Amino acid sequence: MKDVTIWRYMDFTKFVDLVSTQEMFFCRSDLLGDPFEGSYPVKHHERRFEEIQRTAKDFQKEIMMFHLAAVEYTKYVHLNCWHMSDCESAALWRLYLKSDEGIALRSSRDRLGSAFADSEPGVWSMPVEYIDYIKDDPPVPTRIAPFRYKRKSFEHERELRAFVYLDFSMENGRPTPAPAPRGIRLKVDLARLIDTVFVAPTAPDWFLTLTARVAKHFGVRADVVRSSLATEQPIFI
């Protein structure tokens, strides 16, 4: 996939947390609020069901174990989500921010990868594909593959996912405890990650000044500017 411009919208407190700690938060996938996270399209599930039915010595036990492992696996996949677009999104400014004091970081997929190049565990990124879970039959070659799909009702997000997988295992027929209660934090190279910091189009001037001062204090070298949605002016004649 060629490089793409990506955006992450956040409130000021999350921006301060990011630049002061130099850490990015990856949320456990089962806590993102979408019950379809990590689930399988119906047609794939039906094929897997038939395969287990043909080969399993104890069908009910195998189905139970397959279901348990699939559900528990979502606790080991951690996601950090970005919006793919060449320009800002007025809709996402409104959707993700609760006040005028909002921030948008502009980056790119290549920058994102570079910012976590030295990370342990490793960080990967992939664009989300939006499907009909009943009718569509996309490839699901690995256990991580379901996390690249979301329902078509989320298409407006145009999401690029950065994800981290922590080792999942079973002991005595039970999954080992989830490694993190809500998610994990990883060190990130902000000089590589951030291209430009934008403040919300309706933010007051003092907020722009404050954001620039905070960014400079914590060593962020990227420009801090006002959203272009505020600076672009219509022409009627």
pLDDT of residue 96: 75
Q: What percent of the chain has pLDDT over 90?
A: 65
**Average pLDDT per 10 consecutive residues for the chain, totaling 237 residues:** 92 96 96 93 87 76 71 90 94 82 96 93 94 95 92 95 80 65 94 97 94 97 93 80
Check residue 38 and give left, alpha or beta (phi > 0: left; psi -120 to 50: alpha): left
CB 115 within 8 A of CB 108: no
Strand partners, 162: 80, 125
pLDDT of residue 130: 98
pLDDT of residue 175: 60
pLDDT of residue 183: 93
Q: Please state the pTM of the whole predicted model.
A: 0.88
CB atoms under 10 Å from CB of 116, counted, come to 23
pLDDT of residue 172: 61
pLDDT of residue 237: 77
pLDDT of residue 170: 58
pLDDT of residue 204: 93
